[in-house]
Amino acid sequence: MILKTKAAKLAAGLVGFAFVFSLFVTPVATKAQTNTELQAMINTLLAQIASLQGSIGSTGGSMMMSHTFGADLTVGSQGADVVALQQMLVTKGFLTIPAGVAMGYFGELTRSALATFQSANGISPASGYFGPITRTKVNAMMMVTGTTPGTTSYPAGCTSSVGYSSTTGMSCAGSTYPAGCTSSVGYSSTTGMSCAGSTGTTNPSTGALRGGAGDVTVTERNTGTHDEVLEGDEEVKVLGFEVEAEGGDVMVTSVRVEFKHEGSGSRRFNRYVDEVQIMNGNQVVGSADVSAFSESSNVYSRNIPVSGVIVREDATLRLHVAVTAVRNVDSNDLGEDWQVALGQIRFEDATGAILTDNTGDGIDGDITETFSFEDLQSSGDIELTVSEDNESVNDARTVQVDDSRDTNDVEILSFTIEAKGSDMFINEIPFTITSTGAGVTEIANDFRLMMNGEEVGRASIDAPASGATGFASNTDMTRTITITDLDDDDVMIDEGDEVTFVLVADINDIDGAFGNGDTFSVALDSDDVDAEDENGDIVEDLSGSADSGPLTFASSGIMLAAGRSDSVERVYNLDTTSSDDQGRYVINFDVTAFKNDAYVALTAASSTSSATPSTAGAYVYVESTNDNDVAVGTSTITTTLELDGSQSSGVSQSGNYVRINKGRTAHLTLTVNYDAATSGTYRAQLYAVNFAGTAVAGTSQHLATPTEDYQSPSVQVLN
């Protein structure tokens, strides 16, 4: 790509430099001038400004234009930030704008010039991507316009020239240092900082890394990815993976990706793809032009530097590999498959160590996906993608219902539908509902589909409302509920848009076969969606799914919530006399009683399996994090359950029970000590809480779901 030539942009540039023309251009007789002549005049003027800046700089003044950059820039970016960046590169001699070409578009010339600037200023990687590191550097260099000759303007935070370096960053005597720094020692705005007296390291744009020596677990997660890429499509996610941090925060610094052609057609990667991106959500955190990839035995590979990607300890971050396709794929290459694979991931932990994870292992590894390139015009190829949306709706949870009246508008599934390649009209969407304890229609009597908050379709038992789909009542525990005639409500999704839907239900009162503890879950498979493109043809390219639940219905009982920020404690080397250590796990959780008072025994029971629990207040087991196998053998597990000492009114201890008045919440702490029979890495899992209406052993059980909310972090236990 090159800088775009547009007369309008050129005219705007001339207005911006009008005050300079009055100083440097001698008036001449009016005559028409071409864009080429005008741009040549601007280039000459910019060279004069650069020369003048050099002469003024020698006397302590500055003429550099004042501008603060606030966004990342890359190939394809446009606007005022791009103009300012190009002006800076021209002024410093890194960029020459060809005659007849206007500023304001970030093309290959700008990328190359920026890469040279980065290399000259010690910025790594020098890839030509204007990200947080380069932006911090350039903003520090953009001094205030119009300083008085003989005086000096220093960057923010500096009161003198002591310790200031425009190349490697600043550390000024008497200045205020970045968060975590108590002195100038070790500060670098290029590579991040590690300051004497601080904790861990700091990325200038994303904050301090906390904890100790870190590690990561990488797994494939392809939700939201696409198996087909249309010509000219940008940032199409083709491979997804999750990075979980263990032992401390980590900062991902680069991701290696590999591509290999499968089948006939051209094997040259640049015939299909212009650029490969690493994405965090919808944000590009790293990219590489295809020309930068290396090829060996038909495998194209590249380590792509990323910035601003921090994974906090025990948290999980999902990243994607995405591609931007060329606009004209040869017809002989359409429909051809390419395999994309994750290679090694480089990351930095809070001790400053640079580490590598090889879970992906490239094309021969397990984290791979296959996709193809298609042409909409020749193949009618468009794509509809279903994805899960709101986790608070879709996660397993308890729903309070009533003994005597329906509970309406209960949200049971949240999802999105994205249209690519064409506007789409949705005709019908079927949902599979699976129940336990009672039939689906014994639990619910009315289902409605909401689109952006507005009802667009309904299905009802036996006697449907006007415009609704009807279905018969029975005791079946698996039912397909279909919302039809959506086209009558103009359920259209514009090409490129993603629309949010929520399925809601009216839940019956507790009566007859429907009792406390009955559940159902909802599933939507994109293959079952009936949709048409803008030409009225049936959409056949469907991908993705959405699931919820199980939702547990009860008119009285308890609800669980994950604990506070201090919910996890890890203790090592409990047995200091030998290598036979123990792991100690502390899980905090809240129990809320609804409709009636609830009693929970202050006891805990454990097992080496998730079998039917005892009547103790809390039930826990220990599991391996490698493959989630439950720990077995001669392992010893000891447990305690107690109030944490910060209770509100309505919560009291009665003997060995805690009484929770209806509407009140008790804060409980479960402590697990684990002496393993075999050395390994283990974690504790709260399985369920048992309760009753009086101070007796628990007669009802509430499962702790979603399970990941009630897991402790892992710790290595030596035998």
pLDDT at 173 > cutoff 80: no
Determine contact, residues 259/325, Cβ cutoff 8 Å: no
Residue 101: pLDDT band by 50, 70, 90 thresholds? confident
Q: Any idea how long the chain is?
A: 719
pLDDT at 251 > cutoff 90: yes
Mean pLDDT of the chain: 77
Which of 109, 83, 117 shows the shortest CA–CA distance to 12? 83
Indicate left, alpha or beta for 475 from its phi (over 0: left) and psi (-120 to 50: alpha).
alpha
Pairing of strands 604-607, 618-624: parallel
Which of 648, 652, 647, 661 shows the shortest CA–CA distance to 598? 661
pLDDT in tens, 222-246: 888 998 888 778 899 999 999 999 9
H/E stretch holding 257 reads strand 250-262
- In angstroms, rounded to a whole number, what is the distance separating the alpha carbons of residues 267 and 260? 8
Residue 649: pLDDT band by 50, 70, 90 thresholds? confident
Residue 628: pLDDT band by 50, 70, 90 thresholds? low
- In angstroms, rounded to a whole number, what is the distance separating the alpha carbons of residues 593 and 5? 68
pLDDT value at position 60? 35
User: Residue with structure tokens 């021969």?
Assistant: 364
Residues of the chain above pLDDT 90, percent: 30
What does the pLDDT average to over 136-162?
50
pLDDT at 51 > cutoff 50: no
pLDDT value at position 110? 92
pLDDT value at position 364? 87
Least confident of 393-402, 422-431, 481-490: 481-490
pLDDT at 617 > cutoff 60: yes
Which of 457, 386, 462 shows the shortest CA–CA distance to 424? 386
pLDDT at 342 > cutoff 90: yes
- In angstroms, rounded to a whole number, what is the distance separating the alpha carbons of residues 418 and 387? 8
Residue 3: pLDDT band by 50, 70, 90 thresholds? very low
Residue 571: pLDDT band by 50, 70, 90 thresholds? low
What residue type is assigned to position 32 of the chain? A
Verdict on whether the full-model pTM lies above 0.75: no
pLDDT value at position 31? 42
What does the pLDDT average to over 86-101?
84
* Bond into 204 cis (ω within 30): no
pLDDT at 199 > cutoff 90: no
Residue 107: pLDDT band by 50, 70, 90 thresholds? confident
Of 162-166, 228-232, 297-301, 676-680, the range with the highest mean pLDDT is 297-301
pLDDT at 658 > cutoff 70: yes
User: Residue with structure tokens 């955190």?
Assistant: 285
- In angstroms, rounded to a whole number, what is the distance separating the alpha carbons of residues 399 and 397? 7
The per-residue b/e assignment along 293-318, b for 16 or more CB within 10 angstroms, e otherwise, is beeeeebbbbbbbbbbbbbebbeebe
pLDDT value at position 609? 58
Determine contact, residues 420/386, Cβ cutoff 8 Å: no
Determine contact, residues 230/375, Cβ cutoff 8 Å: yes
pLDDT value at position 278? 95
Regarding predicted confidence, which is higher, 685 or 499?
Answer: 499
- In angstroms, rounded to a whole number, what is the distance separating the alpha carbons of residues 267 and 259? 10
pLDDT at 198 > cutoff 70: no
Beta pairing partners, 688: 619, 703
pLDDT at 56 > cutoff 50: no
What does the pLDDT average to over 708-717?
81
Regarding predicted confidence, which is higher, 257 or 122?
Answer: 257
Residues of the chain above pLDDT 70, percent: 74
- In angstroms, rounded to a whole number, what is the distance separating the alpha carbons of residues 649 and 670? 21
Give the distance between the most distant pair of CA atoms in the chain.
103
